Amino acid sequence: MKFTHDVIVIGAGAAGLTAAGGCAMFGLKAALIERAEMGGECLNNGCVPSKALITAAKRAAEANEYERFGIQMAAAKVNWSGVHAHIHEAIAHIAPHDSQERFEEMGCDVYRGHAHFIGPRKVQVGDVELSAPKIVIATGSEPMVPPIEGLDSVPYLTNENIWDLDQLPQHLVIIGGGVIGMEMAQSFRRLGSEVTIIEPGELMGRDDPDSVAVVVEAMKAEGVMFVKGTAAKVTPGVLASLTVTLEDGQEVAGTHLLIATGRKARTEGYGLEEIGVELGRNGIKVDARRRTNLKHIYAIGDCREGPRLTHVSGYEGSNVALEITLGVPTKVDWSALPWCTYTDPEVAQIGMTEAQAREEFGDKLTVVREGFDHNERAIAEGDTRGHIKVMMVGKKVVGASIVGKNAGELLLPFSQLITGKASTFALGSAVVSYPTRSEITKAAAFSAWEGTVFGKVPTGYAKTRAWFRRMRPF
């Protein structure tokens, strides 16, 4: 069979761009297919616009403190059109990095349109038929919209259309208390909206509860309202724009509704079932090398079963590109997987949470905890909220949970510790700039060795040497 390309990549988000670009840079003839905007979810609807909004909201929050540290400021005046422009300027600034032109310059053949498998090694895009010995599916994910009665009767928001709001919501009701729900709740509250979160389970359920508690307390203090329960019905309102009725009969009225109940893999309409690609509960089934049951077809990023994070997508794209180009079998390793929720304070996690580690290691687990209330940079900044928890088995780190200002920036050393590329002793004895928040990582690492360093043997030896010096000072 004569192929048109060496590899076909379906989807130009973080995963697909990395895979296609990597293959092209190694000299392979790569086809890259995208039906929507180049850059995918992160650039257009996720990481970039949400962080731009968070930054604007932070400026408003700082101004609304009025007087702090002896500095008097005027109350913030929010111009939503300016905030909206900032969000889209951020997208536009980054867009050239993910553009069709850039990837064509790298050597990719870029096709704009919907991809559909017409055989195990053939893909149709419009009137064009492509074929390759290796195919990578990177079709991403989309908002998971629950089957709530009456939801279609109101113009509800998701992370895909909230960036197009032409006005600041008066009262934003959010169904879902995960990452998206919590970040959006705090941001819109800081910009002046009333905000209510409806969540039936635990807020930010995948994170450490002690960390989440710090964030919830902060958001409650800022005026975010939390309602525990399951949304059963949505109705257009009379006095308000809409009303959400919970299963227990509670009613929450608002002007805008955001659905933030998670993501589902985008797998429909590509002909996957026709060629026999096996699907799981929420995504394409893959092995550790990201291969589907058809071993020449890979699935990476949000479309497969597994964690949905932009940096994971990039990691998988790199792995698959190396395997396809150089034949290096590359397995994913989630032992040091980091993630961060960009609330204020931030919540950052790498490896196992305390609950996960206790379930696996039981009494063998040791948890080291250090608070920012002892960190001198945090004290000087007037923000001592939060702490770090390090989960250890012996001296081996298996996870770390951090909540506090810029918590995500403090995860890197723990990636090295978990993977065995560095030791807690090395981190605990490192020279760290003073005063910085990163000193808390050194403090936590040193705490792991404190009992050993100052144990009976070392202290006994030190006392003996001191005794000899007293007896023979010269």
- The per-residue pLDDT for range 55-96, each reduced to its tens digit, is 999 999 988 876 778 777 778 889 999 999 999 999 999 999
**What class does CATH assign to 7-38+99-143+264-326?**
alpha beta
338-453 has the same fold as 7-38+99-143+264-326: no
pTM, to two decimals: 0.92
Q: What is 192-227 written as a DSSP string?
A: T-EEEEEESS-TTTTS-HHHHHHHHHHHHHHT-EEE
Provide the 3-class DSSP secondary structure of residue 378. Answer: helix
Residue of 391, 389, 336 lying closest to 360 (CA atoms): 391
| Residues 95-153 pLDDT 10s | 999 999 999 999 999 999 999 999 999 999 999 999 999 999 999 999 999 999 999 99
Retrieve residue 279's tokens: 């699907």
Domain 151-261, CATH number (from 2.30.30.110, 3.30.43.10, 3.40.50.300, 3.50.50.60): 3.50.50.60
| Residues 430-439 pLDDT 10s | 888 888 898 8
Phi-psi region of 404 (alpha: psi -120 to 50; beta: other; left: phi over 0): left
Residue of 317, 309, 276, 325 lying closest to 408 (CA atoms): 309
Cα 13 from chain centre: 15
Residue 463 belongs to what H/E stretch?
Answer: helix 456-471
pLDDT reported for residue 474: 58
Instruction: Indicate the pairing of strand 365-371 with strand 387-393.
Output: antiparallel
CATH topology of domain 338-453: Enolase-like; domain 1 (3.30.390)
Per-domain residue ranges of the chain: 7-38+99-143+264-326, 151-261, 338-453
